[in-house]
């Protein structure tokens, strides 16, 4: 984060930086939006009697309630400001997520934050891999499975960023991803090394069941590799950063061409399902008020009780579902898509009884 932030500043293209890690003590970059300014991680742990991961998850849940404010702010900063014509719109938004993958990727708050950003901006996932620690076939495959799960959970374009290339070159990883036979040779070498060491598994490639499992997964992930971009960088030296941003631009176009139509389709399906549910609830409400039946009149047998139909038969049309909706919308002028509109509509119906 510090390196790509400094790189963009050096190009006179300062990004908008968001820190979503509530437990970090210090960050080596300036954040425009910092979750720590809104949520006190330690207090969350104390008040809810939580451990570290539970505290991070709950902090994210609390922060996710402000996602609409965040998106509105970002949309303003990505557009020209008539009041401040000298201020340039931002081109890049950097979001630093918590290091605990499961806390962010598999949580409701993480999904809300990602989908909210993706609904307004082209969004790309950068999965950072520690290159020296993934030199063995077993750890490499573990990282690929993590990446696979993140890709299919977020349904967003992804870049594999092999960091610390100043310590170990990442060319071996690219070879393993593009050449199945090369990975098989490395797997056999790791198995032989484990056998000679006399310790099964050995922490390198694994033998027996582990070797067979890795071999099977390497076959399965061949198609998965074809959808990923792989970049080797060094955060310490700054090498590979230009290639990283080139990959970001490619994935941006991929988002616009491939992911955005799918995102819009899913959004339309959710909207249709939401409207269908509201229509069913509205029908139930009308039936409960005895105005949603086929005749549209109040079903009351007691002649001593005055009902709407006794006052004026011409008002029957106004007591139908369409009539009530039209009268409500004309009087309140609210948006049907909002939860507030649902609550206000229900309140309005009860006042007409």
| Extents of the domains making up the chain | 1-121, 123-193+209-280
pLDDT digits (tens, 9 = 90+) for 112-170: 999 899 988 999 999 999 999 999 998 999 999 999 999 989 889 999 999 999 999 99
More confident residue, 14 or 298: 14
Give the residue among 184, 171, 166 at the shortest CA–CA distance from 135: 171
203: pLDDT strictly greater than 70:
no
Q: Report the distance separating Cα 205 and Cα 182, nearest Å.
A: 14
pLDDT digits (tens, 9 = 90+) for 26-77: 999 999 999 999 999 999 999 999 999 999 999 999 999 999 999 999 999 9
State residue 308's pLDDT score: 44
Structure-token pair, residue 170: 């990442």
Instruction: Give how far the C-alpha of residue 251 lies from the chain's centroid of Cα atoms, to the nearest Å.
Output: 16
pLDDT digits (tens, 9 = 90+) for 280-293: 888 888 777 755 44
- pTM score: 0.72
pLDDT digits (tens, 9 = 90+) for 302-353: 554 444 444 444 445 444 555 555 554 554 444 444 444 444 444 444 454 4
Burial class for 137, CB neighbours closer than 10 Å (0-12, 13-18, 19+): buried
Reported confidence tier of residue 103, pLDDT bands at 50, 70, 90: confident
State residue 260's pLDDT score: 81
Domain 1-121, CATH homologous superfamily name and number: P-loop containing nucleotide triphosphate hydrolases (3.40.50.300)
State residue 322's pLDDT score: 59
Residues 201-209, mean pLDDT to the nearest whole number: 54
State residue 318's pLDDT score: 45
State residue 305's pLDDT score: 44
State residue 131's pLDDT score: 96
**Mean pLDDT highest for which of 60-74, 189-203, 255-269?**
60-74
State residue 349's pLDDT score: 45
195: pLDDT strictly greater than 60:
yes
Reported confidence tier of residue 207, pLDDT bands at 50, 70, 90: low
Q: Report the distance separating Cα 38 and Cα 281, nearest Å.
A: 37
Residues 103-113, mean pLDDT to the nearest whole number: 90
Domain 1-121 and domain 123-193+209-280 have a common topology? yes
Domain 123-193+209-280, CATH homologous superfamily name and number: P-loop containing nucleotide triphosphate hydrolases (3.40.50.300)
Q: Report the distance separating Cα 350 and Cα 153, nearest Å.
A: 43
In the chain, pLDDT over 70 holds for what percent of residues?
A: 78
State residue 324's pLDDT score: 52
Q: Report the distance separating Cα 198 and Cα 138, nearest Å.
A: 17
State residue 206's pLDDT score: 53
């Amino acid at each position: 984060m510090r390196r790509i932030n400094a790189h963009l500043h050096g190009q006179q293209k300062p990004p908008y930086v968001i820190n979503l890690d509530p437990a970090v003590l210090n960050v080596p970059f300036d954040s425009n939006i910092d979750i720590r300014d809104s949520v006190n991680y330690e207090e969350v742990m104390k008040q809810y009697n939580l451990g570290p991961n539970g505290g991070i998850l709950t902090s994210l849940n609390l922060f996710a309630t402000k996602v609409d404010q965040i998106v509105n702010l970002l949309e303003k900063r990505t557009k020209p400001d008539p009041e401040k014509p000298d201020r340039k719109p931002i081109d890049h938004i950097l979001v630093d997520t918590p290091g605990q993958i499961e806390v962010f990727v598999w949580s409701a708050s993480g999904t809300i934050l990602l989908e909210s950003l993706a609904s307004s901006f082209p969004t790309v996932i950068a999965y950072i891999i520690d290159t020296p620690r993934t030199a063995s076939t077993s750890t490499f495959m573990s990282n690929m499975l993590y990446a696979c799960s993140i890709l299919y959970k977020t349904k967003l374009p992804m870049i594999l960023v092999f960091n610390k290339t100043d310590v170990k070159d990442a060319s071996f990883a690219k070879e393993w991803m593009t050449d199945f036979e090369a990975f098989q040779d490395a797997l056999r070498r790791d198995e032989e090394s484990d056998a000679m060491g006399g310790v099964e598994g050995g922490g390198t490639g694994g033998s027996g069941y582990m070797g067979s499992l890795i071999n099977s997964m390497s076959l399965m992930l061949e198609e998965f590799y074809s959808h990923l971009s792989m970049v080797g960088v060094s955060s310490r030296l700054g090498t590979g950063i230009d290639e990283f941003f080139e990959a970001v631009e490619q994935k941006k176009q991929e988002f616009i061409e491939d992911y955005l139509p799918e995102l819009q389709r899913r959004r339309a399906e959710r909207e249709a399902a939401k409207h269908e549910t509201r229509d069913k609830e509205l029908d139930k409400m009308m039936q409960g008020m005895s105005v949603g039946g086929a005749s549209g009149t109040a079903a009351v047998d007691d002649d001593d009780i005055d009902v709407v139909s006794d006052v004026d038969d011409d008002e029957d049309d106004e007591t139908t579902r369409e009539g009530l909706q039209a009268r409500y919308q004309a009087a309140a002028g609210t948006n049907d898509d909002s939860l507030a509109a649902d609550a206000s509509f229900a309140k309005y119906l009860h006042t007409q009884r």
